[in-house]
Amino acid sequence: MYTKFSQFFLIIFLFGCGNDNIPNTEVISINDAFFFQKDTYFFTLINCDSKENILDFRKSDDGKTFLYIGKEDKSEIFRENCSTSSYSINQITTNDLLDNTDIYLDISMCTKNIDADDKEDFKIYLNFIDLNNILVFSAISQLDDNKYLWVNIWPSKLERLNSLDKLIKSPNARSISESLKKYGTCDSPDLINFTYEIA
């Protein structure tokens, strides 16, 4: 139930929230230094049919999904009855939550629009996060045939829900969603909780 509820909020987040009758009173500061001076990481997600242990990977609550985000390429790790997805992701937010003991992963496969502009289309979203102290690590993968992975890492499910609620109530909600739609459209997200335990 919670997953469906969260997906509903993310769909609103990406595809047109806001109210045209609400005056736009929130000031958004534009600071070019805020963009893309971040880092690049290897992102590997392994999904297994049964519980496993994979060294150096975070383990999901059910013990069947494993996550690695870091500087080493783990894409060659193989386990029977498991599928592996690997990407190179570019950090676009200033928050660094990768060392947190618990994280809540929110990922979507997206399609980039032909006329998208990385800097301009993310500007309002990134400044909203900066101005409102939203605790999220956001990154996008390298393009593969106009497809990319959108990655959000939150400290917890509750933090994600509260942040999306803050976004929806923002007078800039519509302009944020429209700017993100200019860059691309995304599928419904996969939501996975990872605990402090390293497999």
Give the tokens for residue 156. Answer: 């917890």
Please state, in angstroms and as integers, the Cα–Cα distance from residue 180 to each residue in 17, 90, 185, following that order: 12, 16, 8
Going from the N-terminus, what domains does the chain have, and what CATH number goes with each? 2-198 (3.30.70)
Reference 150, options 187, 95, 118, 175; nearest CA is 187
Give the Cβ contact number of residue 189 at 10 Å: 22
**pLDDT exceeds cutoff 90 at 176:** no
Tens of pLDDT, residue by residue over 72-98, are 999 988 888 999 999 999 998 877 788
Q: What is the pTM of this model?
A: 0.78
pLDDT for the residue 21? 38
Reference 106, options 119, 116, 93, 123; nearest CA is 93
Using only C-alpha atoms, the chain has a radius of gyration, in whole angstroms, of 17
Chain centroid offset of residue 43 CA = 12
Weakest mean pLDDT among 58-72, 84-98, 115-129, 180-194: 115-129
DSSP structure string for 93-158: SS---TT-SSEEEEEEEEEE-TT--HHHHHHHHHHHHHHTT---EEEEEPPBTTEEEEEEEES-HH
